[in-house]
Amino acid sequence: MNFKENYQNWLTSPVIDEASKAELRSIANDASEIEFRFSSYMEFGTGGLRAKMGAGTSMMNPYTVAHATEGVARLIDTLGDEAKARGVVIGRDSRNNSDVFARRSAEVLSAHGIKVYLFDGIRPTPELSFAVRHLGCIAGINITASHNPSAYNGYKLYWEDGSQPTKENADKVSAFIEEADILTGVPAPADTKEELIEMVGPALDEEFLKNVAGETVYPDVIAKAADDLRIVYTPLFGAGAKHAPEIMRRIGLKHIYTVDEQMEPNGDFPGLDKPNPEYPASFALGIALAEKVKSDLIIATDPDADRVGIMARNKAGQFECITGNQMGSLLLDYIFTALKEQDKLPADAYAVKTIVTSEMASAICRHFGVELHNVLTGFKFIAEVIRTHEEKGTGTFLLGYEESYGYMKGLYARDKDSIVACMLICEMAAYYSLKGMTLIDAMDSLYAKYGYFTEDSAEIYKEGLEGKVQIAAMMNDLRENVPAELGGEKVVNFRDYQAETSLDLTTGKVEPTGLPKSNVLYFMTEEGNVVVARPSGTEPKIKFYILAKGVSRDDSKANAAACKASLEVCLGLNPGELRK
C-alpha cells in the first residue's frame, strides 16, 4: 500500500477521530507532507519511538502509540500467563498528550489480559526503571521525548531488569507491530479491562527516594556546609519538580531556591526553544535567581528528569556551564576520592562510560586502580555491563555516565537518573565548598592533576524524508572516504561499528571492535585525538563528537577546533558551519 492509499484510509476510517481527520484534510494539497506522514512507520528500536506529534503513521499520536503497544502486548502474550500477571508499569513526563498516550497504552495492554500499573501523574524516567524492578514487572513503558522541543513526544520500552530492551526483544516487538494493522488490528478503548489497571502513587515514590538517598558517599560534608551552601534548582517545567528538591532536603540542605516560573508542568515549555539543560539559555531565569540569593550553583533537569545540567561561578564571579563530560569526570573523581578517604573504595570497583565520553575518565580510573568499561552510546549498554558483572558475581559498580548529561549510581534502576545526580552534585559542591572551592575550581584542579582534555560536539539537522537520505549519504561518504588527516594529524585508526571492524591505517591490520553492531564511525589521530560520527536514533540529525587533548587547556581547545575545521572540509561545509 502506498502513502496516498494510507492517507485515504485514515481519512475514511471510522477508527480515526474527527480532529485528526481535519488535520489531515488541511494538508490535502501538500504531497510531500502526505508522503512524509504516510510513507512509513516510525522505526521501533531499542530506544523505542520518538517523533513530532500529529496525524499519520510516522507521527506520534494515539493510534501509533496503540500500535506500538500492540506489538509489546503480543510479545508478552507469547511469554505466557505468568508474564501477563507480572504486568507492565507505565510512566509519563510533562509533555503535551503524554497522559493520553499513557492511558491508551494501558487500555491496549489490559485488553490483552495484561496487568497494568499506571502512575497517577508525571514521574522521572529513572523512577519508571526502578518501578519495573521493584514491582517485578515483565516490562515498562515511559511516554517521553526527553529534552526534545515541545512538538515532539516519544515512547520508551523497558524490559524486566529495568533497562531498555535488547535488540532481540526490540526486533520481536517490531515484527509484532508489522503484523498488526494499525486501524483494525489494535484493541479499541471499549475493549479495556479496567480491573487490570492499578494506579501507582506516593508509596512507590517513597521507595524510590529511599534508594536514591542510599547512594550518598560522604554524608558528613552536607551537615558541615549546609549553613552556607545555597542551591538554585529548576525542573524546566518537567518531572523533577518534586523529587529533586525533596532529595536535597533529605540529605540536609537548608537553602534550596526553586525557579518558580518553571516549577509547574507545562508541555509548551514557555520561553525555551529546547528544554535542554545542556544549553546556557535554559538557565536564564536560574541565573537571575542565583544572583538574587547569592548562590554559586544552579541545577536544571530536563522534562523527564533523566538528565541534569549545572552552572557554577568561576573565579570572575560569573556563571559558567559545566559540560556533561566535565561533570562525569568530577563525579568520578569525587566518588573515588570520598570512598578512599573513608577507606571504603572497593578493590573490585568498576565504572562505565560511552566511547564518545571524555578520556579523562581513563586517567582518573588508572589513578585509583578502578576498572573502566567503554560502551556504545546509550544506557542500555551500560546496563549490559552491570548485568554481566551480576551474572558472574564480580565487581562493585560505582558510576555509569555519558557525555549527554546522564549519570547513574546504584543498582536500583538501569537508566540515567538526574535525581541521584542532583544529590551527588550537591554533596560534591558541599565537599569542595569546605575547601573554599566552587565546582569550576574543582574542574581546574582535575585538569592540573590528570591532564588537559577538551570535548566538543556538533550536529546537523535534516528534517523529512530527504533529510534521512542526506544523513545516510554523509555517513556513507565518511565510511568510504576515510579522512587521511584530522586537525593536521594523521588518522591512524578507523573503527566502523556497523561493520564491527577496527582498522589500523598504519599497518593495515583489521580487528573486531568488540562492541555490538551500530551505525557509528570512529577516527583516531596519531596523537590520540578522536572524532566520532553517529546519526541520532531519536532525532532527525547526525551528531559529531570531538575528544581532544593537549599539553595545556588552550592547546587541547586548539586541537579540538582544528579537528572540527577538518571535519567541515570532509563534509563539504563552509568554515564555521558545523556548530554546536
- Long-range Cβ pairs for the range 102-107 (8 Å, 24+): 102/141, 102/143, 104/62, 104/65, 104/66, 104/69, 104/189, 105/65, 105/66, 105/69, 105/141, 105/143, 105/155, 106/192, 106/197, 107/66, 107/187, 107/189, 107/191, 107/192
Do 93 and 147 touch, CB atoms closer than 8 A?
A: no
Question: Closest Cα to residue 102, out of 90, 86, 120, 114?
Answer: 90
Cα 113 from chain centre: 32
Measured distance CA(314)–CA(293) in Å, rounded: 17
- Burial (0-12, 13-18, 19+ Cβ within 10 Å), 428: buried
The residues near 342 (Cβ < 8 Å, ≥ 6 apart) are 218
Running DSSP on this structure, what letter comes out for residue 54?
S
C-alpha cell at 555: 592547546
Do 257 and 233 touch, CB atoms closer than 8 A?
A: yes
Measured distance CA(104)–CA(188) in Å, rounded: 9
Measured distance CA(131)–CA(138) in Å, rounded: 11
What residues pair up with 297 in beta bridges, in sequence order? 231, 312
Backbone angles phi, psi at 501, to 5 degrees: -125, 145
User: Which SS3 state, helix, strand or coil, does residue 276 take?
Assistant: coil
Active-site residue, from 20, 98, 129, 146:
146
445 catalytic residue (yes or no)? no
Measured distance CA(174)–CA(407) in Å, rounded: 29
User: What sign does the dihedral 366-424-456-512 (CA atoms) show?
Assistant: positive
CA distances from 114 to 44, 173, 182 (A): 21, 16, 20
Backbone angles phi, psi at 354, to 5 degrees: -95, 160
Residues with catalytic function: 146
